[in-house]
Structure 1
Amino acid sequence: MDTPGLGPISKREAEVLAVLGEHLTNAQIAHRLHISVRTVENHVSSLLRKLGAANRQALAAIAGPRPDAPSPGTVIGIPHGHTTFVGRRPDHDAVVTALADARLVSLMGPGGMGKTRLAAVVATAVAPAFPAGAAFVDLVPVRPGQVTVAVAQVLGVTERPPQTLDHTIVGWLKQGRFLLVLDNCEHVVDDVAALAAMVQQRCPNTTILATTRRRLAVPGEQVVRLGPLPIEPDAVRLFFDRARAVDAELDIDPQTAAAICRNLDGMPLAVEIAAARAASLGAEGLRAAAGDRLRLASGTRGVHPRHSSLSAVMSWSYDLLDTEAQAALRALSVFTGSFDLSAVAAATASTHDSAVADVIGRLADDSLVVRDGRFGRGRWRLLDTVRAFAAQRRDPAEHSRVRERYIAWAAQTAARLAAELGDDEQLDFAAVAADLRAAAASTAASPDPTAHRLAVSLATVTFAYGFNREAREHFTGAAQRAPDARQAGRDLCAAANVATAVYDGPAAFDLFLAAANRSRAAGLDNDAAAATASALITALRFPGEFPQRLTPEDGARLLATAMRDATQDDPRTAALIAAARAWNDGTGADEALELARALGDPLLLLGALDIAMTDPGRRAQVGEFVAERLRLVAELPRHDPAAATEITDTFHVATSHAVATGDLPAAASILETAAAQDPLAGHPYVTAPRRIRVAVLAGRFGEALAATEALWDEWQRDGAPTRRWMATAVAMAALAEGLRGTSHSHRWRERALRVAQTDDVTGSIELAACIAFVDARLAVHTGHTVDAGAMVKRAFASFKDETVVPHPAVGGHIWKSYARAAAAELAVFAGLPDAGELLTAASHHAADNRWAAACLARARGRLTGEPEHLASVAAQWDRIGARFERACTLMLIPEHRDEARTELEALGASSPAL
């Protein structure tokens, strides 16, 4: 590949470019191509330069569509017909024309007209015109409020809290020209209309084809009405095609076939059901049935108007079944989605596999049950009109029995899914999701063991599949259905753990207190104490998520309440109270760690280790604590909300510790492990700050800025939730822009203040230290030293609240080392009179931070000017993976400047002032 004016793309660069289209990390690309991460970085930098791309996303777009996107010409989720498509040519052409002219086309008509089949045929025909792909979403099993969930499941996207699922879908659909088919919209028309309006407004390249019995009534909607098939030739052709598929020797004249089709109003579904009986009834039976039982039932009492003519077809077909098949059909109508043989057995209370298979086979032969190939083999479903008809045939007593069996099946299935999470062989959640949700929603909000089991299991499964808000709702619903107050409190605590896992500390705090109140009212004092302590721990351990931090008075009050409630000797409650006391007033850390180790509870131990890391007297042990936490989380189940919190926090702390010690290779290794194990890996702004900080320090400015742009956009789109701990990552983007020589550095500095929710940089110890580092490092690079004295003074001053020991993961001492090392170098560079004294004052930081050590060594090299010393410093930078700093150091050695300029150009960075 040749790029005019920029040079050719090498074979290896082309390979890297192709893999970038899969949105892999540098480490993943290196593993795929069997090359080093540094080599990948070089190739990415070169590609950015040669192709004139702004960031990795732009390179991915050049590389081609994502692997999870449907290929042009294919439609994901489309139902594949097992029979020929007959007739409808004018209707087919009308829909195709409408899709070319409008972005929202509704294929509208009564039930049984073949809207779904026509939509599938049209979608297949026009799919090549949509380069980003096409998707077919069956809304039959979807209840109100779940339309976006159904769309997300077909597209293969999940929620990224606090980003809504709507935002995730919009981001997916904005990739290019895309066709979205929404089938059977009438029962969720309001939700579909809202989704269509949102997509039209925010996804200009997406076209929607909806099938519905009611207009969506959305501006821009173009309706194509679908009526009955013309009797001659289409309906008759359809009849013979289906009839001869079951009886190739069928002897019936076209006139009789036309009469049957005419009595059925030319409705395709009715014609197909009638034709399917050809093998059992023969020509004479069909003639007799057409003259008697297949009359149109328009106006029949007890039949919904939209089903009036189809009801006659259903009654005729239903009455031909034996008693066993009729009962099975009525039972199966309880399912909103597809079902397998085990589900059929549960719904029909059958204990014989052969009987279940036999009745399904007979119903399938009668076209009352159809195969569903969306989730593998061995699944069936009812057409929506058949389902509605069969459900009407259940009397109240039978309805109660069927619903009871249905809920029991759902509870058992959800429990099985929850138990199999993490196994290779497991039931596909998507195949049963609609029914599990429908069953859970149908249970009363009152104590019931089966309903409670269903809610808890479904909460566990939905959390594992990334539906976090839904999981929280199921856990709170479980509390309402719990058999006793103790279980209800545990369910509320589980809901709180879900909130904590997705960085919604305020919601977790409220849920823990709700659990405490519920337990206290029931006389469960220790449970109340544990929940209150957990609420306090949440507020103090993750304060960056709270719009208003807990006051010391509030903390003391909650701690006193927890200690007062703990009336019995319970080691776990004692460990939680000790942890709460440690977070609140700094006492109890040793007790919390000792009790956690004695209990052998990995979650308690992880929390206690987090406390121990804040102890200034244990600063030397922080590395050991980090390593122990990483070993512990490797064995935790990612689908457990309480475990997910500790996994995510452990990787956050481990990465931050590596940054605090200037060990960038260790930080990169931890990030690579987290990409595979962290439940929130890949989140645009929850986990992105870790990658941004490391990327800037390593000199991968393009990667860092692309990630920061995505972070900012998604955070803003989600309403700018409280995430103060992101501020330093945004500030590091200011450093990256400045080192690249752009004019955007000030913009990112201002945004960092907005994220920190302060107008004054000194209002946050973390941000104040980080900004001091950014200012000093940019001054050295650009040579703007007019304010050098003031910048150096800020970096060496005592930061606000420095007497309060910050957490090693987010505290200002991380950036204090960087700030003072960079400021000492600035003092030397600017020729400040006290430069030597400042070097000495900052020297102790070299023992704890490899980046600071290299920076201070370079500052001394500036004083001596010895090439050998500077070459040694360049090697120091190389060992910690700081390519940009290595190049800047080589620029100080005249004979290495050409090499350094080439490296800086590859990194997209400007040359430093000398």
Structure 2
Amino acid sequence: MSGPRQTQVSAREAEVLALLGEHHTNAEIAARLFISVRTVESHVSSLLRKHGVPDRRALSALATPAGAAPPAAPPRVTGLPSTASSFVGRGPEREQVAAVLTQARLVTLVGPGGVGKTRLATALAAELAPRFRDGGAFVDLVPVRSGYVVPAVAATLGVTPAPSQPLLGAVTAELGTRRLLLVIDNCEHLLDAAAAFVAEVLPACPGVTVLATSREQLGAADERVVRIGPLSDSAGRTLFDDRARAAGADVPGDPALVGELCGRLDNVPLAIELAAARSASLGPAGLLTALADPLRALAGARRADARHRSLRAVLSWSYDLLQPAEQTLFRRLSVFAGGFDLAATARVCGAGDLAESADLLGRLVDKSLVIRERDAHRWRLLGTVRAFAREQLDADPARGDVADRYLEWAALVATDLAGRLDGRWRDDYDLVADDLRAALLGRAPGRDPASHRLARALGRLTYARRFLAESLDYYRQAAVLAGDPAEAARDLRSAADCALIGTEPGTRVLNLLLAAADQAGGAGDGNAEALALARVVELVYRFDGRIAAGVSRERLAGLLERARAAGDAADPVVAAAIAIAAAWHAGAQPYDPDPALAEDADRIARRSGDPVLVSAGLDVLGTAATQAGRAAQARRIGEQRLALLDSLDRTDPRTAPEISDVLLVAATVALRAGDLPGALRVARRMDRDDLLGDRSYRSIGTVVPALVLNGELDEALERAETLWDGWRRNGRPPSGDVASAMAFALLASGLRGDRASLPCWRHRLSRCTSGTGVDLSSLASAVFAAGRVALHLADFTDAARLVEQSFGEFPNFRYDTYARATGAELAVAAGLPDAAGWLAAAERSTADNAWAAACLARARGRLTGDADAIAATLTRWERLGARTEYACTLALLPGREAEARAELTALGMATPRR
């Protein structure tokens, strides 16, 4: 006989089933779960249907026996607040919201402060998480200020953006792959920002459902609003008795008095809880008497509705019952935007030593005015309580002193965190980040040392946390707040480094450096001035595609001379920076340094002992070697730079451009040499790098070509799609890395024989250069891809033009040898009359690339009809890891057709046409 059929039940149904197993009645189950009897009956009916059993007795037999292994834990809700006390009432609201969430993807719980929206949202998140494959995430916006909604969500999700990616893009990319319930709590002070965030996330993330709480609806499209009012009379009495029992009162009290008391409090949960906390000392009758005191009303309460007046009355009355020292601490705690620990309490609030602060804080916790967080060493004020306490602080003559101490505390904490970035700092920073920001925003006008220290430390911390745009802003603020020009110059230099690795325009990078030079010059710091000016010259030549500054050669010559005049030539760091800039400037064009001066720059940079300068000196030398065709030397230099990576401080903005360039150049020289596995290893390392990120243009723009050349066509096309979508969302900024990725996606589609997708990728490639003044015929990656697709598909209608383009002048030397070798083979396959000449020309210029050499050997075998020569290249392709070329070569050999088909099928490729 078959047993009961297996089925999936909800978390609530599992609870009902367990209580059925304990032989509870429907009424008892309803009381235990705080739901209606009708709801229990509905769950029982559902369980009978799902399990296919006839009655309650059979259901009881299915309940998990005592001592049995518990079921698998439901999906987790990240950031869910702890709830030490029981949840009372709200059965109808829970059912309503649960139902609405099956119909809408944005539901907002709207109601007055203190009505219990957050607690209801917390309960719903825990209850409904099993509906969602990835559970949920709970984001509290109470400590968040305007402009920081997205960072708050990112912190909860653990999202860190890539340097060329806006934080919102990183969040939507993360959420786009997940199915979860995102709870955004306390939106009322950030309505526009919350609505804008939801408007971006919901269309881009089809698996996400948003449950928001606010005192006012967001006003977003397709929003469903559920109004949350006071508790029912019975639920209010139950809540009061529960909290009064926890406070040590005799429960139950006189039902009539408790009912009247809750009615006077409008059955608002927070008001009831605050009143119940005093019930042990006053009882319901005493509480009613106290509530009749007109002094409980707050000034200005006439402007609030009835519920707000009741809540303010309870808060005011609770505050009046505090001892003077407790009142002082309570109102001063409102300065904290988030949580606080005991040391912060003592330092900021001036509550005496730690012992005295602990005593006062404990009393406030006992009176339900302060709550303890999950971390037993941290506390916080509820949002409504903090707002009331802040009003009291605003009327305190000592508020200025409190603000000063808050700023000093924030500067001290931030400086301490910035000083231990090589240890366990990140969690500690995340705990105080909201307060560090708030302290800087709330500072008094004018410059002061504490504000400057805080802004500079925040710049370093947010950089280390990989919030690059935020870091740039803080360094700019620090420059404004600096007490002297020398300090301002230092902050501007850090800002320039952040801008260079981020998404800022190149002209802004140079302007920051020039401003730093001016400030340093004004302070009499000639060395700092020289370093900033030399950096401008270096960047324009070294990163021409990134900076695109349009600075004339004459002006750069003037800046270099100014640097020489300002700096101390005997200083090894200054000497190295000027030597590097001079080597780049002496070249005929960007990416083409003077070889002799490059050797001098490398030698002088090594003397400095600065790993950033040592790497930069090696780069100028390696670039000169590459331009001279010395691929082996360039490869060795690239490996030396890779070995320096561990010595570069990844928390210092100054190292960021060097780290990025080291990896990019390592991939470039590997591709240039035809080392396909080596290029893919470096590209994947870029992909995993927390600074470059797996969604940056540079990392994906490098990994896609490496994947295609190694035969990983499916992954290459998937990554190219990701890059295209991100590039469009970011406004389509000019990027050679994106163009290269699109070109290789075109090649991957051609190798697969997917003719239908070729126009799409050609269009995308064209869009990458539209409006930039760059012709596709000057991009070696585009020319290579077009020629290789024509060769694979035996489409020779435009072969003569493609061959001629493949031998053009390319400003970037990563793919030029691939283009020439493929052009020569295309000339042979197409039967062009001058094919032998193209082949000879390619052989003279591509000897330093193992892929190109193998390609040309195959082409010569095709030209002469020598099958053995073609077969001999199989070993080369196999050694290179060039799986696509290996398969295509097999297809050219008589008698090996079956073997070729197997290889091509494994790669998802079409058989090449002859």
TM exceeding 0.5: yes
Amino acid aligned to 2:81: P
TM-score by length of 2: 0.84
- Pair 1:152-2:154 in alignment: yes
Once the two structures are superposed, residues 387-436 of structure 1 have per-residue CA deviations (whole angstroms, 9 ceiling, x without a partner) of 12222333544212221221122122222332333424654332222111
Show the counterpart of 2:761.
748
Show the counterpart of 2:285.
287
Amino acid aligned to 1:907: L
Shift of 1:718: 0.8
Once the two structures are superposed, residues 343-380 of structure 1 have per-residue CA deviations (whole angstroms, 9 ceiling, x without a partner) of 2232234674443433332221111111222xx44222
- Pair 1:877-2:887 in alignment: no
Alignment of 1:401-440 (within 5 A): 401-424=401-424, 427-440=427-440
Once the two structures are superposed, residues 268-321 of structure 1 have per-residue CA deviations (whole angstroms, 9 ceiling, x without a partner) of 111111212234x153xx532431256577864255737532232223323333
Instruction: Give the distance between the partners of 2:765 and 2:223, measured in 1 at CA.
Output: 43
Instruction: Give the distance between the partners of 2:772 and 2:351, measured in 1 at CA.
Output: 69
Summarize the Cα distance change of 1:243–1:779 in structure 2 as closer, same or farther, 3 Å threshold: same
Show the counterpart of 1:694.
706
Show the counterpart of 1:486.
486
Q: Which structure 2 segments of 5+ residues have no match?
A: 1-71, 588-593
Show the counterpart of 2:8.
none
Shift of 1:715: 0.9
Shift of 1:836: 4.2
Show the counterpart of 1:527.
528
8 Å contact from structure 2 (residues 540, 548) kept in 1: no
Show the counterpart of 1:142.
144
8 Å contact from structure 1 (residues 77, 135) kept in 2: yes
8 Å contact from structure 1 (residues 104, 222) kept in 2: yes
8 Å contact from structure 1 (residues 445, 477) kept in 2: no
Show the counterpart of 1:782.
793
- Pair 1:794-2:805 in alignment: yes
TM-score by length of 1: 0.84
Instruction: Give the distance between the partners of 2:628 and 2:292, measured in 1 at CA.
Output: 88
Instruction: Give the distance between the partners of 1:628 and 1:480, measured in 2 at CA.
Output: 39
Instruction: Give the distance between the partners of 1:574 and 1:538, measured in 2 at CA.
Output: 17
Aligned to 1:393, the other structure's residue is in SS state helix
Summarize the Cα distance change of 1:333–1:775 in structure 2 as closer, same or farther, 3 Å threshold: closer
- Pair 1:608-2:617 in alignment: yes
Shift of 1:565: 4.1
Summarize the Cα distance change of 1:289–1:750 in structure 2 as closer, same or farther, 3 Å threshold: closer
- Pair 1:330-2:339 in alignment: no
Show the counterpart of 1:20.
none
Aligned to 1:443, the other structure's residue is in SS state coil
Once the two structures are superposed, residues 518-557 of structure 1 have per-residue CA deviations (whole angstroms, 9 ceiling, x without a partner) of 3334444443332222223223222213456433344334
Instruction: Give the distance between the partners of 1:604 and 1:76, measured in 2 at CA.
Output: 43
Amino acid aligned to 2:860: R
Show the counterpart of 1:904.
904
Show the counterpart of 2:462.
462
Instruction: Give the distance between the partners of 2:797 and 2:205, measured in 1 at CA.
Output: 49
Instruction: Give the distance between the partners of 1:569 and 1:247, measured in 2 at CA.
Output: 77
Alignment of 1:443-454 (within 5 A): 443-444=443-444, 446-454=446-454
8 Å contact from structure 1 (residues 107, 209) kept in 2: yes
8 Å contact from structure 1 (residues 684, 707) kept in 2: no
Shift of 1:680: 0.9
Amino acid aligned to 2:380: R
Amino acid aligned to 1:334: V
Amino acid aligned to 2:750: G
Instruction: Give the distance between the partners of 2:537 and 2:304, measured in 1 at CA.
Output: 58
8 Å contact from structure 2 (residues 787, 822) kept in 1: yes
Once the two structures are superposed, residues 422-453 of structure 1 have per-residue CA deviations (whole angstroms, 9 ceiling, x without a partner) of 42465433222211111121224633221111
Summarize the Cα distance change of 1:444–1:579 in structure 2 as closer, same or farther, 3 Å threshold: farther
Instruction: Give the distance between the partners of 2:106 and 2:877, measured in 1 at CA.
Output: 57
Alignment of 1:350-429 (within 5 A): 352-373=353-374, 376-394=375-393, 395-424=395-424, 427-429=427-429
Once the two structures are superposed, residues 59-118 of structure 1 have per-residue CA deviations (whole angstroms, 9 ceiling, x without a partner) of xxxxxxxxxxx9975432222321111122233333334434444333222211111111
Aligned to 1:605, the other structure's residue is in SS state helix
Summarize the Cα distance change of 1:551–1:478 in structure 2 as closer, same or farther, 3 Å threshold: same
8 Å contact from structure 2 (residues 788, 822) kept in 1: yes
- Pair 1:647-2:639 in alignment: no
8 Å contact from structure 1 (residues 250, 278) kept in 2: no
Amino acid aligned to 1:665: P
**Could you say which structure has the greater relative contact order, defined with CA pairs below 8 angstroms and 6 or more residues apart?**
1
Moved more, 483-492 or 862-871: 862-871
Show the counterpart of 1:574.
575
Summarize the Cα distance change of 1:742–1:484 in structure 2 as closer, same or farther, 3 Å threshold: same
Instruction: Give the distance between the partners of 1:695 and 1:706, measured in 2 at CA.
Output: 11
Summarize the Cα distance change of 1:760–1:522 in structure 2 as closer, same or farther, 3 Å threshold: closer
- Pair 1:122-2:134 in alignment: no
Instruction: Give the distance between the partners of 1:704 and 1:175, measured in 2 at CA.
Output: 18
8 Å contact from structure 2 (residues 138, 184) kept in 1: yes
Aligned to 2:623, the other structure's residue is in SS state coil
How many residues align? The count is 826
Instruction: Give the distance between the partners of 2:772 and 2:320, measured in 1 at CA.
Output: 76
Show the counterpart of 1:636.
648
Once the two structures are superposed, residues 685-732 of structure 1 have per-residue CA deviations (whole angstroms, 9 ceiling, x without a partner) of 231011011111112122112111221221121111121343233222
Show the counterpart of 1:704.
716
Shift of 1:658: 0.2
Shift of 1:144: 1.4
Show the counterpart of 2:3.
none
Alignment of 1:197-346 (within 5 A): 197-200=199-202, 202-203=204-205, 206-230=208-232, 232-247=233-248, 249-250=250-251, 252-279=253-280, 281=281, 283=283, 286-293=284-291, 295=293, 300-302=298-300, 305=304, 307-346=308-347
Alignment of 1:491-506 (within 5 A): 491-502=491-502, 504=504, 505-506=506-507
Shift of 1:251: 6.5
Show the counterpart of 1:593.
602
8 Å contact from structure 1 (residues 753, 760) kept in 2: no
Shift of 1:760: 8.0
- Pair 1:179-2:159 in alignment: no
Aligned to 1:210, the other structure's residue is in SS state strand
Instruction: Give the distance between the partners of 2:270 and 2:910, measured in 1 at CA.
Output: 69
Instruction: Give the distance between the partners of 2:488 and 2:845, measured in 1 at CA.
Output: 51
Summarize the Cα distance change of 1:118–1:759 in structure 2 as closer, same or farther, 3 Å threshold: closer
Once the two structures are superposed, residues 541-592 of structure 1 have per-residue CA deviations (whole angstroms, 9 ceiling, x without a partner) of 2221345643334433433443454477544333323322322232543343
Summarize the Cα distance change of 1:472–1:294 in structure 2 as closer, same or farther, 3 Å threshold: farther
Amino acid aligned to 1:552: R
Instruction: Give the distance between the partners of 1:675 and 1:455, measured in 2 at CA.
Output: 31
8 Å contact from structure 2 (residues 572, 608) kept in 1: yes
* RMSD over equivalenced CA pairs, Å: 2.9
Q: Percent identity?
A: 43
Q: Which structure 1 segments of 5+ residues have no match?
A: 1-69, 801-805
Instruction: Give the distance between the partners of 1:511 and 1:872, measured in 2 at CA.
Output: 57
Amino acid aligned to 2:764: R
8 Å contact from structure 1 (residues 546, 722) kept in 2: no
